[in-house]
Amino acid sequence: MEVHLEHLTKRWGKVVAVDDLNLEIRSGEFVALLGPSGCGKTTTLLMIAGIYKPTSGYIRFDGRVVNKVPPKDRNVGMVFQSYALYPHMTVYENLTFPLKLKKVPEEEQRRKARRIAEMMGIGHLLDRYPAQLSGGQQQRVALGRALIKEPALLLFDEPLSNLDARLRLTMRAEIKRLQMELGITSIYVTHDQVEAMTLADRIAVMREGRLQAFATPEELYERPRTLFVAGFIGNPPMNFTQVEVIQQDGQYLAVNPDMRLAVDPDRGSRAAGRGRVIMGIRPEHITLARDGEPAHLEAEVYLVEPLGRDDLINARVGKETHLHFLADPALKLRIGDRVRLRVDTSRVQFFDPETEQSLLWS
């Protein structure tokens, strides 16, 4: 099912939870709504589900405006962060509740419940009550309950955030597999950019009720259009420093009192002559220069945060420019060590400090 949001707005008194949101979701697409907590993701989802009425704007399912259609007639399934299972019903009763309301014959209910339970790996739990299940099992039941009525649209509201890290990985993979198998159009709300990047075909980044970007994960990663998107997508987050880009001897140099970095002319040319701009470099595009290799920057290790597979190094360039990058823990970098850094200057980003818009992509 295609879902179109047009100028969708929701106000709570003076608070604007969702502000003029425009989104076109294709049939069968998996879209993530990504943004920090409180930016209006849940509100958007609940409007699509029919729980909240939009203050203004339209929601279209396959072209039809559904603003006034009650939730039960929208044919959507939803998975909540809190699971929202019915505590007084067994797993079986939870699963078949949507079917019962549709007056599906008992025999068919049983068959479908068994199939869904099989698919979700909860076949042995059908007689239990939700309180007797672990968080992961509850989430599977909730997912099964959303799937059993074969909805045209699946909504997820941070379904994994109450699970422990390990389980989150498993469930994430499972949701991805299920969605690909079933091909149901899905909208997945999360504040976790890794989740959004791994699951979604396209990501809608929201901030304070407004849509910041709507693009594929690669696009958001390689060509972020705003400073916010650049900082929000990617882990560890992008490094930002104020520089001025000048042209010298046919080269473009990003200059501030702490450093002079020759950058890719394609990119540098768009930032040159604009006075102060913000330069962004992803940590993964900074590497240690091997012996004999020329370095772009010299720095001093300021802080070392072991992440397990990598060490996250906070290095100080000059007096007050800090850059994060990842280093092999085997190198045993210590605070105060001098390091020589190479930067993949063909992948640096530039932003206007006033408008926070990208100077490269628009």
CB of 42 to Mg ion, least distance (A): 3
Closest to ligand ADP by CB, 38 or 329: 38
Helices (H), 84-192: 91-101, 106-120, 135-148, 165-182
- Written as one string, the DSSP assignment of 269-296 is HHHBTSSEEEEEE-GGGEEEPPTTSPPS
Closest to Mg ion by CB, 109 or 139: 139
Taking residue 8's Cβ as centre, other Cβ atoms within 10 Å add up to 25
Stretch that binds ligand ADP, among 41-49, 95-103, 219-227, 340-348 (CB under 6 A): 41-49
Token digits for 237? 């987050």
Q: What are phi and psi of 117, to 5 degrees?
A: -60, -40
Interactions with ligand ADP, residue window 1-30 (CB under 6 A): 12, 15, 17
Q: How far is CA 98 from the centre of its chain?
A: 30
State the binding partner of 49 from Mg ion, ligand ADP, other proteins, none, CB within 5 to 8 A by kind.
other proteins
Task: Decide if 32 contacts 200 (C-beta within 8 A).
Answer: yes
241 near ligand ADP, judged by CB under 6 A:
no
Length reported for the chain: 362
Binding residues vs other proteins (CB under 8 A) = 46, 49-51, 70-72, 74, 76-78, 80-82, 84-89, 97-98, 101-102, 129-131, 145, 149
Closest to other proteins by CB, 158 or 195: 158
Looking at residue 54, the DSSP 8-state letter turns out to be P
CA 346 to each of CA 204, 280, 282, 328: distance values in angstroms, whole numbers, following the listed order: 26, 12, 11, 23
Task: Decide if 1 contacts 30 (C-beta within 8 A).
Answer: no
Interactions with ligand ADP, residue window 150-169 (CB under 6 A): none
Binding mask 11-50 for Mg ion (x = CB under 5 A): -------------------------------x--------
CB of 41 to Mg ion, least distance (A): 5
Task: Decide if 321 contacts 241 (C-beta within 8 A).
Answer: yes
Residue of 14, 37, 87, 249 that binds ligand ADP (CB under 6 A):
37
Binding residues for Mg ion (CB under 5 A) = 42
Q: What are the residues binding ligand ADP (CB under 6 A)?
A: 12, 15, 17, 35, 37-43
